Structure 1
Amino acid sequence: MSVQIEFQVTAPPFRWDEAGGIRIGQSRVTLDSLLATYHNGSTPEEIAVQYPVLCLGEIYAAIAYYLTHPQEIDNYLEQRHKKAQQQRNQFVQQYNLANLRQRLRDRLIFALIIHFSA
């Protein structure tokens, strides 16, 4: 006589957001953030403390999916990294952020000179 057990297969707790990123469960925590924390040495239990909106099961499920599909997730992370870098470059060009710190210092110095000479 053998005992039969039924297992229910569940999908990873992922959902796509409006920007094309993967979020965990119903939270705003990205897969990128969760995996960065994991790769920095945090255990799932430590991640649960850092992201209390996630339940431990969601964290384990996300990590398990990554461990069984590393190439797929690494490709996704690389695409996200490239897109973020492109957006940063566009922002810098669009708003002329080159030498912003120096321009702000110059304005501050000028304002201080005007203030103290009055």
Structure 2
Amino acid sequence: MTLAIVAEPAPLETDTNGVVRVGKTRVTLDTVVAVFQQGVTAEEIVYRYPSLKLADVYATIAFYLNYQQEVEAYLQQRQQQAQEIRRMNQTRFDPQGLRDRLLARKAEQESY
């Protein structure tokens, strides 16, 4: 009996917003790489994110290790996008005085 060796593509899919997700889940490449960099094992990642398959996590880690520069560039781009969205939201929804407004609303409700 001979063992048939078949190379499978990485279980990564890019959604319509350009976010790379693992397998058919909502878990992002960003998430898996971040916890892996913290020293979390593949088994622990699956425990934390039960929608993931162990083989997919190992394949994702292998992809990251094989294409580290490209993945790091993608992660940096995602971080820049997140900062831009945060800035836009702060401009649209001024966080100044939010705590005071919430406390005033709470006090008003408690006075009834």
TM-fit CA distance, 1:19:
1.9
Structure 2 residue 83 is the aligned partner of structure 1 residue 85: yes
Number of equivalenced pairs: 112
Cα distance per residue 1:44-97 (max 9 Å; x no partner) = 111111111111110000000000110000000000001011101100110122
Aligned to 1:99: 97
TM-fit CA distance, 1:103:
2.6
What does residue range 4-43 of structure 1 map to in structure 2 within 5 Å?
A: 6-43=4-41
Q: Distance in 2 between matches of 1:100 and 1:41?
A: 37
Structure 2 residue 49 is the aligned partner of structure 1 residue 51: yes
Where do 5+ consecutive residues of structure 1 fail to align?
none
Q: Distance in 1 between matches of 2:31 and 2:4?
A: 34
TM-score (norm 2): 0.88
Where do 5+ consecutive residues of structure 2 fail to align?
none
Q: Distance in 2 between matches of 1:30 and 1:96?
A: 29
Secondary structure of 1:23's counterpart equals strand
Contact 1:92/1:98 (CA < 8 Å) preserved in 2?
no
TM-fit CA distance, 1:112:
6.0
